[in-house]
Structure 1
Amino acid sequence: MNGGVDLFEKIPTGVEGLDVMLKGGLIKGRTYLIKGGPGTGKTILSMHFLVEGAKRGENVVYITLEEPENEVRENMETLGFDLSNVTIVDLSPTSGHPIFSSLMGFESGIDVKTFENILQDIIGDNIDRVVIDSITMLKVATPTETEYRASLLRLMRTLKVKFNATTVLISELGNGVEDYLVNGMIELRTIEVKGRAVRGIKIVKMRGSDFDETIRPYRITNRGIEVYPDLSVFEV
């Protein structure tokens, strides 16, 4: 266990076992990163986070930069997610939205002002929770790592200062500059244990909060993600 005293307001993720590991949830108003390989449940976990906020009457936004909105809705509804109060902003390549071509041709990094205008037009100034899936597209659209770092910092600051949002960024596994910029990072991994594949969730860092450092097993079920905070991946 990581020592420390929690001094900040926390909000639940919508996954009970993960909230146990987080000692109550995520710190409100900060930026977090969910990393994992294909099929590990990154989008599912982020949708738990948004649906939980919607249940609490919060304004929640899912920004998709890869998968079209209709596919996101179909995939999540098969798992029983009620997305009726989740605003989905489709900025995927097939959406025809001009931001995609703007990003791909933007020579000094992420067009943060365009993002801000889109969010304001759709939901106004009050956004409680936002997910960006995934920041890989933003990284591809930025010429250099230095420009990507500066642009990502501007985007994170806009979401925090302008909208006071709790933000979740989604990324593939691998080291990236975003690892050092976010307030917390959660990894979803597939681990081989005694010759079989086991899904494991690990909290890599969580600034300002105590958390469980042990890799815990999780499953993707017909109700979404279930985390088992009392088990180790080596005990399942």
Structure 2
Amino acid sequence: MIPMVKRVSTGIAGLDEMLGGGLIAGRAYLVEGPPGAGKTILATHFAMAGVDRGENALYVTLEEPADQLKEDMARLGFNVGSGNFKIVDATPVNPERSVVFSESPDIEFGESFERLLNSLSAELRKRDYQRVVIDPITMVKLTVPNELEYRKIFLAFLKTLRRYNVTVLMTAEVEKSDVEKYLVSGVIRLLRVESGDKIVRAIQITKFRGSAFDEVMRPYKITNQGIQVFPEETVFI
């Protein structure tokens, strides 16, 4: 008898429907798209869907300062004040918090992927997290310029996180995510496409190991309550 697969909600009903009920728990996924596509909003939906269920969520922000990110999240109605939610500011805006050039006061991020992994592992040992967001993974990639070396380190990174049985969601720009999308368990792509005589936002699942999924481009909108996906509608190019 085939065991039931545990599903994890993305926090977006239409996207969960496209995924056949949600992401598969304990695996790593990538959300890729151009600037302004809503990658961070989607990642926030994912983290907060866990918080709403009483799970612990860890959000590592590498690009947008934590205070600003919290303001944006709160404006969309997310409960950023929950004790189950921890956000770590590892942005390069403040030299003392740079993931690339120095250390964060919350988690000791440094100059390499190995430092990131050690720091994440230390935090995951301190608390039982179910969800982890790294937004964007692109910033860490800058610390490993050799692509072959990066591939090896990234694979080791995924294997280590798997030991903690957390579901991981990473974000990246489309043009900078070739290595990651081959190694993660699933890829969700956000696009801006021409549909007839207008430009629309479209979401597409391009990879989802271990499950059937909807491969069709579906329209989505960014509203004052976050992202809304329309799984019954199709984007025609």
State the AA in 2 paired with 1:173. Answer: V
Deviating more after overlay: 201-210 vs 89-98: 89-98
Q: Please provide the CA RMSD for this pair.
A: 2.1
Report the Cα offset of residue 113 of structure 1: 4.3
1:75-96 per-residue CA deviation (whole Å, 9 max, x = no partner) reads: 1222111112221011101241
Q: Provide TM-score, normalisation by structure 2.
A: 0.88
Contact 1:116 1:158 in 2 (8 A): no
Partner-residue secondary structure (3-state), 2:100: helix
- The answer for the alignment partner of 2:21 in structure 1 is 24
Which deviations, in whole Å up to 9, do the C-alpha atoms of 1:179-198 show, x marking residues without a partner? 11000000000001122110
2:170 maps to 1:173? no
Aligned counterpart, 2:93: 94
- Aligned 8 A contact 1:62 1:131 in 2: yes
Taking a change above 3 Å as real, the CA distance of residues 98 and 188 of structure 1, as seen in their structure-2 partners, is: closer
TM-score (norm 1): 0.89
Alignment of 1:39 onto 2:39: no
What code does the residue aligned with 2:12 have? V
Name the CA distance, whole Å, in 2 between partners of 1:192 and 1:98: 38
Following TM superposition, the consecutive aligned residue runs of length 4 or more in structure 1 with deviations greater than 4 angstroms are: 102-106
Consecutive unaligned residues in structure 1, runs of 5 or more: none
Separation of aligned partners in 2, 1:14 and 1:131 = 14
Would you say the 8 A contact 1:110–1:141 is kept in 2?
no
Structure 1 equivalent of residue 160 of structure 2:
158
* Equivalence for 2:105: none
| Unmatched 5+ stretches in structure 2 | 103-108
2:58 is aligned with 1:61? yes
CA contact (8 A) 1:6 1:209 kept: no
Match of 2:188 among 186, 189, 195: 186
Q: Who is 2:74 aligned against?
A: 77
Give the alignment partner of residue 139 of structure 2, picking from 137, 141, 152: 137
- List per-residue Cα deviations over 1:162-208 (Å, max 9, x = no partner): x2110001000125111110000000000011221100000001000
Q: Which aligned pairs between 1:215-226 and structure 2 lie closer than 5 A?
A: 215-226=217-228
Report the identity percentage. Answer: 43
State the alpha-carbon separation in 1 of the partners of residues 137 and 37 from structure 2: 17
Distance 1:196 1:31, change over 3 A: same
Residue 21 of structure 1, CA deviation:
0.3
Cα distance change, pair 202–117 in 1 and its aligned pair in 2 (3 A) = closer
Residue type of the partner of 1:97?
A: R
CA distance in 2, matches of 1:221, 1:113: 35
The yes-or-no answer on 1:197 pairing with 2:199 is: yes
Do 2:92 and 2:98's aligned partners in 1 also have CA atoms closer than 8 Å? Answer: no
Aligned length: 226
Q: Which structure is higher in RCO with an 8 Å CA cutoff and minimum separation 6?
A: 1
Q: Report if the CA contact (8 A) 1:216-1:232 is conserved.
A: yes
Indicate the residue corresponding to 2:230 in structure 1: 228
Q: Any idea what SS the aligned residue of 1:93 has?
A: coil
Distance 1:99 1:220 in 2: 29
Do 2:20 and 2:212's aligned partners in 1 also have CA atoms closer than 8 Å? Answer: yes
Aligned to 1:114, the other structure's residue is in SS state: helix
Partner SS, residue 155 of structure 2:
helix
CA contact (8 A) 1:33 1:169 kept: yes
